Amino acid sequence: MAVSREVRRRICLSFVRTMGTDFAFPRDDCCLLWSNESFPVPVDTSLTAAREQLESVLTHVGKRPIVFRGIAVLAQLHADWIEMGSPGELDSAEIELALWTAQQCAEFEQMELDGWGHRYRADMDVAVRTAEALSRGFLSLSWRPVVDVYGGSSALYHSLIATAGPIPEESRSDAIHESVYAPSLERLGLARLWDRHLLRKTLAILRQRPGLRLGIRLSTQSARCDHWWSSVFSALHSEPMLASRLVVEFSASGVVSELEAVRSFCSRLQSLGCRIAVRGLGCRDGDLAIVHACRPDIAKVDPSFLRRARSSEFGREGLQEMLSLAGHLASHAVVDGIEREEDMRLALRAGAQWVEGAFMDGAKARRGEA
C-alpha cells in the first residue's frame, strides 16, 4: 500500500493537471493516466514522441527508492498505451478489461522458497544502494580493451565495466561491483533501470571521444523493444556513426525467459548499426540458445577454458575447440581471461586473434561520471 501511494503521488505531482479527468487508480497495484497539459502526447506517424513520454514516466517514478518506516525499496514498473474514454464514462468492467489487456506478461523463473525473504531483503538493499549511487553521481567506469594478439595498434573495442559507489558518508562504504549488483537487480526485475542509465552514459562518452569504440554489458532481462529504450533507439537512429562504435554485450549465462524478445532487441540494434557480443561462451549447458537469439558479431570464450588450458593438454584442446566454435558463430572470436604472459602463449597456440583480460588492461578508471 505504501509503495502504491508513493507511486501515485509521484505521478500526480509531475504528470497530472486535474485529478478528476486525468488520473484514476481502480486497483492498488495499477493506475490510469490520461493525456493532459502536464502529460502532453503529440501523436505522429512513428509514435516516437509518445513512447518517449512513457519512458519519462517510468524513469521519473522508478529511479528513486521509496522509503516507508525506515525500509527503502525500488518499485518494478510497467507502462503501456491503450485507447480509453474519459474516466467518467467507464464502468468497472471496462477498466478491468483495459488493465488486463495492457498489463505486462509475467516473467516466471524458478525460485527457491527456502530463505527467499532473506534473499529478497539482501537484494533490495543492494538495489537501493546502487540507485542512490547513480542518483548522486558515484559511478566508476573501467575500460578493458579487446586487443589483437599480435600487437595491433588499435583495439577491436573497449569493454566497459561499471562499479556503483561508494557514497562517502555511507557507513558501508564499499563499492558495489558488477558481480554483486547485476544478479541482485535481475532477481528483483530491476536491471532495466540500471542498464538504461549506463547505456545513455556510454553514448555520452562516445560523443565526447569520436575515435573510441565501447562495449556495454546489458542484462538479458533488459533485452526488450519497449518504452524503456525509446530515447536510446531515437539517438542511435539519428546518429549512425555513434551506433557503429557501440557494442552491446550479453552474458551466455543470462537467464532468458523469451528468446524471441532477445532476438528482436538485438536485431533492432544491429539494424541501427550496433554490434552484438556474447561473453562467457561455453560457461554452461544451453548457452547456444542465447547465441542463436542474439546472432552475435563477436563471441567471447569463457575464461574457464583458459584456466583449464594452463594445467593439461586436454584443457588446451578444449580451448582450441571452443575458439573454433566461436569463430563459426561470430565474425570475431575472443579469448577472455588473459591474466599473465603464459595465457597469451596459450591463446596464440589455440589460434586466437583477439584477446581480453587484466594482463593487457591499461584500464582507465573514470570516477564520478554518472
pLDDT at 365: 33
Query: Which of residues 306 and 84 earns the better pLDDT score?
Result: 306
Query: And the C-alpha cell for 251?
Result: 552474458
The closest alpha carbon to 18, from 3, 1, 39, belongs to 39
- Segment of 125-134, 146-155, 314-323 carrying the highest mean pLDDT: 314-323
List domains and CATH numbers for the chain: 2-102 (no CATH), 116-367 (3.20.20.450)
- Segment of 82-91, 189-198, 310-319 carrying the highest mean pLDDT: 310-319
Q: What is the pLDDT of residues 268-308, one digit of tens each?
A: 999 999 999 999 999 876 678 899 999 999 999 999 999 99
Average pLDDT in the 143-156 region? 85
Q: What is the pLDDT of residues 215-226, one digit of tens each?
A: 999 999 999 998
Q: What is the pLDDT of residues 103-131, one digit of tens each?
A: 665 454 555 556 777 888 899 999 998 88
pLDDT-based confidence at residue 249 (cuts at 50, 70, 90): very high
The residue type found at 266 is C
Query: And the C-alpha cell for 140?
Result: 566508476
**Contact of 139 with 196, CB cutoff 8 Å:** no
Classify 313 in phi/psi space as left (phi over 0), alpha (psi -120 to 50) or beta: alpha
Report the C-alpha gap between 362 and 179 in whole angstroms.
21
User: What H or E segment, with its residue span, contains residue 143?
Assistant: strand 139-148
**Contact of 340 with 350, CB cutoff 8 Å:** no
Q: What is the pLDDT of residues 23-77, one digit of tens each?
A: 877 777 788 888 888 888 766 545 677 778 888 888 888 888 888 888 888 888 8
Report the C-alpha gap between 336 and 254 in whole angstroms.
17
Q: Give start and end residues of each alpha helix (H) in the chain.
A: 2-15, 19-22, 48-62, 92-102, 116-135, 178-188, 191-208, 230-238, 240-243, 259-271, 288-294, 303-309, 313-329, 341-350
pLDDT at 89: 74
Residue 254 has phi, psi (to 5 degrees) of -65, 145
pLDDT at 108: 44
Instruction: Give the chain's mean pLDDT.
Output: 84
Q: Are strands 23-27 and 30-33 parallel, antiparallel or unpaired?
A: antiparallel
pLDDT at 367: 37
